Amino acid sequence: MPEIRIAQGYIPGSLGRVVQLHGAYYHQHWGFGLFFEVKVATELSDFLKRYDESRDGFWLALADGSVEGSIVIDGIHAESEGAHVRWFIVSDAFQRNGAGTRLIETAMRFCRDKGFGKVYLWTFEGLGAAKCLYEKAGFMLVEERRGTQWGTEVNEQRFECLLR
């Protein structure tokens, strides 16, 4: 298996690949459809258009130049609400080889270096491997509710990590 390299910032094709990873994974494992894929594409595109490296982070897990994972820190509201972890995913082929750990450690190091006081993310119940990575990185479950922000009703979960 090729070695994973973590790269910072946009590279040509990465937007489409991150959307594809999300669309394929969540359709296969959770039955999510067009609503979810369009949401990822729209929101990630909007984020990249306003990307500011002084507050935001965008990292890719690359294997032989192919995007096999991603994570984002959206810092636009870091002072008032906390930095937001978004679009964290690793392709099926590269799960369980440390790529997810390396991505989340990179993102959390960025947040600490920026002096952010809190980091949060929204996910949903049932993503056990991701939950383990979040908890290992210091996140704690702080809220649960039924919701449809992904286009399908799930038990949404908010995790937070206090850095100060």
Number of structural domains the chain divides into: 1
Question: What's the predicted TM-score (pTM) here?
Answer: 0.95
pLDDT value of position 97: 87
Give tens-digit pLDDT for 32-58: 999 999 999 999 999 999 999 999 999
Give tens-digit pLDDT for 57-109: 999 999 999 999 999 999 999 999 999 999 999 999 998 889 999 999 999 99
pLDDT value of position 115: 96
- The sheet with strand 140-147 has its strands ordered as 4-8, 57-63, 66-74, 83-90, 118-124, 154-162, 140-147
CATH number (domain holding residue 42): 3.40.630.30
**Domain-located, residue 47:** yes
Q: Is the pLDDT of residue 1 over 80?
A: no
**Domain-located, residue 152:** no
Containing structural domain, residue 104: 4-120
Q: Give the residue carrying structure tokens 């897990």.
A: 61
Count of CB atoms situated within 10 Å of the CB of 161: 21
